Amino acid sequence: MRILVINPGSTSTKISIFEDEKEIFSKKIDHPVEELAVFKKISDQLDFRKEALFKTLEESGFKVSDFDVVGARGGNSHPLESGVYRVNEKLVDDLLSLRYGAHASNLGAPLAYEIVKIIKVPAYIVDPVIVDEMEPIAKVTGLKGIEREARDHPLNQKAAAREAAKTLGKKYSECNFVVAHLGGGISVAAHRKGRMIDENNALNGDGPFSPERAGDLPNIALLNLCFSGKYTKEEIQKMLTGKGGLVSHLGTNSLIEVENRVSKGDECAKLIYGAMIYQISKEIGKQVVVLKGQVDGIVLTGGLAYSERLVNNIKEYISFMAPVFVFPGEHEMEAIAAGILRVYRGEEKEKEYS
């Protein structure tokens, strides 16, 4: 089976072509910021990105008729259970309306649907970013009218959890894991028998601080900052979700740079680096409690998991709780293709978006 996978990012569109599990082609199509600046909304970029996609395929020796199925990264629709969803007109309309949130990933399913119109093959999204399997008790806060929301990295989290289950000789649906996605945003979730029952909202910057997100903050101090008159709402939001964490303290989101500064004896970098590790480890511990200590493994994944130094420091805090599995990287393209193959092999049923 030949599968085309499409993954739009803020300034690029990644494409991969798989023959069953084997990736035979991959390409990152860069979109210069100045070219994107002419579009008022993300959804206005659809035709621009479609043209770039078709041009890249043609220049690389492929035709849209070469594919048996198309997969795409899911965007901000209404909250869904995890799974493999067939792309339909309702999903495309919801994503392009931006009513549930604006992100470049909203263009994934619409781009796939443009191909479907031409070659009449199915298209799917897999474990989209708005997967919500949280238990009701996990959503309750101490202020009526405010609930915790599920916003993290389900595609990569579940792919890494499936790999850990395979290592144990089990199915993902048979295991309990705590999975930590370590990237520009950091999400930690409790996976119980194939469902993510609790997690921090990494998109909004909750949980541990990360290279770019501020993480949980003291309420009154944050309130005072908001009403200080020094910043607009947009500026504070950027502090929390783009200029927080390592960027706020050390002026960089590069873990490599921070680790180099630590190695050279920078005491400030050492403190902040250690504090991030400390907070990640505490968040993992919280999710172990959610699972009442019945944990088959703790899984570390995401781009930062390539750092042996970071991983080893986290292990010093958490290894007493459960075996630790490390699967660096995001593996989004492979995870989308794998989800589609599970449907075609009868291992999982496709779902309908409504």
pLDDT digits (tens, 9 = 90+) for 330-345: 889 999 999 999 999 9
pLDDT digits (tens, 9 = 90+) for 106-143: 999 999 999 999 999 999 999 998 899 999 999 999 99
Residue 288, pLDDT score: 98
Tell me how far apart the alpha carbons of residues 200 and 141 are, in angstroms, rounded to a whole number: 13
Residue 141, pLDDT score: 96
Q: Burial, 88: exposed, middle or buried (Cβ in 10 Å; 0-12, 13-18, 19+)?
A: middle
Region 29-48: mean pLDDT is 94
Does an H or E element contain 17, and which? strand 12-19
Q: What angle do CA 95, 96, 101 make, to 5 degrees?
A: 55
Residue 61, pLDDT score: 96
Residue 220, pLDDT score: 97
Q: What percent of the chain has pLDDT over 90?
A: 93
- Tokens 């699972």 correspond to what residue? 291
pTM more than 0.85: yes
**67 conformational bin, left if phi > 0, alpha if psi -120 to 50, beta if neither:** beta
- Show Cβ contacts of residue 124 under 8 Å, excluding neighbours closer than 6 positions: 69, 70, 71, 72, 84, 85, 86, 87, 112, 336, 339, 340, 343, 350
- CATH code matching the domain that covers 2-132+333-352, chosen among 3.30.420.40, 3.40.50.150, 3.40.140.10, 3.30.9.10: 3.30.420.40
- Name which of 109, 84, 82, 83 is nearest 95 in CA terms: 109
Region 297-323: mean pLDDT is 98
Span between the terminal Cα atoms of the chain, in Å: 27
Residue 264, pLDDT score: 98
Lowest mean pLDDT of 10-14, 24-28, 348-352, name the range: 10-14
pLDDT digits (tens, 9 = 90+) for 170-209: 999 999 999 999 998 999 999 999 999 999 998 888 999 9
DSSP state of 12: E
Res. 101 pLDDT band, cuts 50 70 90: confident
User: Where are the domains positioned within the chain?
Assistant: 2-132+333-352, 154-329
**61 conformational bin, left if phi > 0, alpha if psi -120 to 50, beta if neither:** left
The dihedral sign for the CA sequence 303, 27, 203, 284: negative
The CATH number that domain 154-329 falls under is 3.30.420.40
- Asked if the model's pLDDT at residue 151 lies above 90, the reply is no
* HEC per residue, 60-110: CCCCHHHCCEEEECCCCCCCECCCEEECCHHHHHHHHHCCCCCCHHHHHHH
- Show Cβ contacts of residue 89 under 8 Å, excluding neighbours closer than 6 positions: 113
DSSP state of 268: H
* Between residues 10 and 28, the one the model is more confident about: 28
* Domains 2-132+333-352 and 154-329 agree in fold: yes
- Tokens 């915790």 correspond to what residue? 148
pLDDT digits (tens, 9 = 90+) for 213-267: 999 999 999 999 999 999 999 999 999 998 999 999 999 999 999 999 999 999 9
